[in-house]
Amino acid sequence: MPQIKTQIEIEKDKQERIMETVAWRAGYYRANPHRYVSEVLGLSLKWFQQILLWAMMNYNFVMYLAARGQGKTYLTALFCCVRCILFPGTKIVVSSGTLKQANEVLLKIQDDFMKQSSILRSEIEKCNIGQNDASIYFKNSSWIKTRTSSENSRSARANCIVVDEFRMVDETVINTVLRKFLTSPRQPKYLRKPEYAHLQERNKEIYMSSAYFKSSWAYKKAQSYTLNFFDDTKKYFIVGLPYQVSVRDGLLSRSQLEDEMSEADYNELVQQMEMECLWFGDTDGSLFKFDEIDSRRRIKKAYMPLEFYREIGQIPKVKSTEKRILSLDVALMKSTKKKKNDAAALFINDLIQVNDTAYQSNFVYAETWEGLTTDKLGIITMRYFYEYNCTDLVLDTNGLGLGVYDFIIKDQYDEVTGKTYKAITCINDKDMASRCNVQDATKAVWSVKASSSFNNEICVLLRTGIQNGKINFLVQDQDLDNIISDYYKGYNKLTPTDKAKLQLSYVQTTLMVYELVKLDHEIKNGNIRVFESSDMRKDRYSSVAYSYWCACQLEYKLKPKQNNTNNLVSLLPIKQGYRSR
């Protein structure tokens, strides 16, 4: 007769079968995390997201380069949830350049996933997403926390770090702060048994971003990940998915993308980096290096468009030791789908006197226009010159610029402001000054006439000024919401259109950097000639170069008279070369 089991033995067998089922299912879903998402949590994944989620679970080092609109936050949040549930005791730190951006991952879990999945809600013990503390705790002792990518984010411990938009994070912070969070791997109790000691887990590092410049540290990291990806002894994974993937899966509208690409101000370099996952870099022998220019992007507070000053207060006055230069590169024709024309580019350069003989250039405002008539561009020039309290105006008076000059040497009424602006005349060219018949005209125009020698001079001066740290530009156009809201208190209540207006100078500065880095050049008869490569412009470069040339002229006036010379390039410090014997 079969042996009759006691109630205790029956309960024990039942418990063992349950645990075996749990163990089998845990192993199955750890190997197939995408199926756990759909079959258990009831959430959906696109095909490429299934592959990426599997890679994030199975590789120790993951780099995901994504086009805009592929849902990095969505995927990151899902990975964090699945990892924490299937691996009890997991500790994950999500980091980004700002706490707000890092918190987007936790908000996605709290405001989206938990509302859709009752299973996920049953796994989570509490959510605490505030300004000072952002964390999600699971009932199995796993947790997810956020940290900013800064020197202050110390003392955290984790088994996995996820760095969003890692290209915008300082490399030193990643190496000395974030990676130091990974002190020890997860320690499940079964590792205490000798037969399972070989199953020790590795910590994970996951980096997500769009592509960027080749001169950045992020590109070098991507290169090392690529080399290790092909090494079977290492568990590295790197992938770049361009915008075509987003279009294929309905995450991005093809017609919307085509409309954006047909616009006259469409920028191919932004498309290349942010949509095509292609790294952009200096060409060999480039005059202007990205890392040199990028290191000078230090100004957080831009000058606002005039309409905002009318509401909140006055434009900063110019101190007795300061100068303010308005520079304009003139272009009138509008671009078409078949041809890209230059735009009229205007920059404002705030000169701060740093000592008795030197100024520091600070480019605090930028704007461009296409398709304006000479009169419209002329009245804009006068309006900006007087309303922004500029002291100097530099203008190329060759060709189209002469028409603008002839407009501003007369008193002009501005319908926008209701003011009549006094004529502005030339101060560095007697022939140009003689064209003005207004006796009390403001003497402020620096007339420049492009020639091979002049173009060589402004190019060398601008390059040297950047290298010597005498020029500052607006900071990168990342996280502008936080940057602008610090000095414009009503920013968060503005319409998207008004927010875009306040962000414009930062975006124009970034486009200017693209132009500088992409410039081609040749040396002819001892002079440097710069020219734009195909599908590129150089109007912003020209305006900035004119402005810094003018700044050097004003700075030269501070120097002792005996150093008189007409060629500012000859004043640049040149070290004596060392000759070996």
pLDDT computed for residue 283 by the predictor: 56
pLDDT (tens digit, 9 = 90+) per residue, 134-160?
Answer: 899 999 999 999 988 877 776 678 999
pLDDT for the residue 28: 92
Contact 179, 206 (CB under 8 A): no
- In this predicted structure, the answer to whether residue 256 has a pLDDT above a threshold of 90 is no
Lowest mean pLDDT among 123-132, 334-343, 488-497: 334-343
Would you state the pLDDT for residue 526?
A: 57
What is the average per-residue pLDDT within 173-201? Answer: 85
Model confidence at 342, pLDDT cuts 50, 70, 90, reads low
Task: Look at residue 532 in the predicted model and tell me its pLDDT.
Answer: 58
Q: Is the pLDDT of residue 568 over 80?
A: no
- Percent share of the chain, pLDDT over 90: 52
Q: What is the pLDDT of residue 421?
A: 97
pLDDT value of position 60: 94
Question: What one-letter code names the amino acid at 563?
Answer: N
**Is the predicted pLDDT of residue 578 greater than 50, yes or no?**
no
pLDDT of residue 281: 67
Q: Give just the sign of the alpha carbon dihedral 386, 389, 394, 396.
A: negative
The residue ranges of every structural domain in the chain are 60-190+198-248, 290-558
Q: How far is CA 407 from the centre of its chain?
A: 38
pLDDT given at position 529? 65
Predicted TM-score (pTM) above 0.75: no
Lowest mean pLDDT among 88-92, 498-502, 556-560: 556-560
Quick one: CATH architecture of 290-558?
A: 2-Layer Sandwich (3.30)
Predicted local distance difference test score (pLDDT) of residue 99: 78
Which pLDDT does position 253 carry in this prediction? Answer: 86
Confidence of residue 337 (pLDDT cuts 50, 70, 90): very low
Structure confidence at residue 504 as a pLDDT band (50, 70, 90)? very high
Residue type, 78: L
Q: Which CATH class is domain 60-190+198-248?
A: alpha beta
| pLDDT tens figures, 27-52 | 899 999 999 999 999 998 999 999 99
- pLDDT attached to residue 333: 56
Nearest to 99, CA basis, from 50, 133, 141: 133
What residues have CB less than 8 Å from 490, skipping those under 6 apart? Answer: 312
Check: CB of residue 549 under 8 Å from CB of residue 394. Answer: yes
- Residue ranges of the alpha helices (H) in 59-117? 72-86, 99-108, 114-116
Across residues 114-130, what is the average pLDDT?
A: 92
Decide if pLDDT at 446 tops 60: yes
Determine the Cα–Cα distance for residues 214 and 278; give it in Å rounded to an integer: 10
Span of 227-236, 256-265, 384-393 with lowest mean pLDDT: 256-265
Mean pLDDT check: name the lowest of 103-117, 364-378, 403-417, 554-568: 554-568
Residue 248's alpha-carbon distances to 211, 244, 251, 304, in angstroms, are 20, 6, 8, 40
Average confidence score pLDDT of the chain: 86
The pLDDT confidence band at residue 581, using thresholds 50, 70 and 90, is: very low
The pLDDT confidence band at residue 11, using thresholds 50, 70 and 90, is confident
In terms of Cβ atoms closer than 10 Å to its own Cβ (0-12, 13-18, 19+), residue 539 is buried
Residues of the chain above pLDDT 70, percent: 87
Q: What is the pLDDT of residue 580?
A: 45
Per-residue pLDDT band at 3 (split at 50, 70, 90): low
Q: 9: pLDDT confidence band, cut at 50, 70 and 90?
A: low
Reported confidence tier of residue 287, pLDDT bands at 50, 70, 90: confident
pLDDT digits (tens, 9 = 90+) for 390-445: 999 999 898 889 999 999 999 999 999 999 999 999 999 999 999 999 999 999 99
Q: Which residue has the higher pLDDT, 230 or 190?
A: 230
pLDDT band at 69 (very low <50, low <70, confident <90, very high): confident
* More confident: 324 or 17: 324
> Does residue 341 have a pLDDT over 60?
no
Q: With a cut of 50, say whether residue 579 has pLDDT above it.
A: no
Q: ∠ at Cα 434 (430, 436), nearest 5°?
A: 130
Give the pLDDT confidence score for residue 325 in this predicted structure. Answer: 98
Return d(Cα 511, Cα 363) in angstroms, integer.
Answer: 14
Residue 335 pLDDT grade (very low, low, confident, very high; cuts 50, 70, 90): very low
For residue 268, the 8-state DSSP code is H
Residue type, 188: P
Whether 169 shows a pLDDT value over 90: the answer reads: no
Assigned token pair, 164:
């969003």
Measure the CA–CA gap between 281 and 283, rounded to whole angstroms. 6
User: pLDDT higher for 248 or 21?
Assistant: 248
d(Cα 239, Cα 508) in Å, to the nearest integer? Answer: 30
Given a contact cutoff of 8 angstroms between Cβ atoms, the answer to whether 83 and 90 are in contact is: yes
Residue 576 scores a pLDDT above 60: no
By DSSP bridging, strand 204-209 and strand 160-164 are parallel
Position 82 scores a pLDDT of: 95
Q: How confident is the model at residue 452 (pLDDT cuts 50, 70, 90)?
A: confident
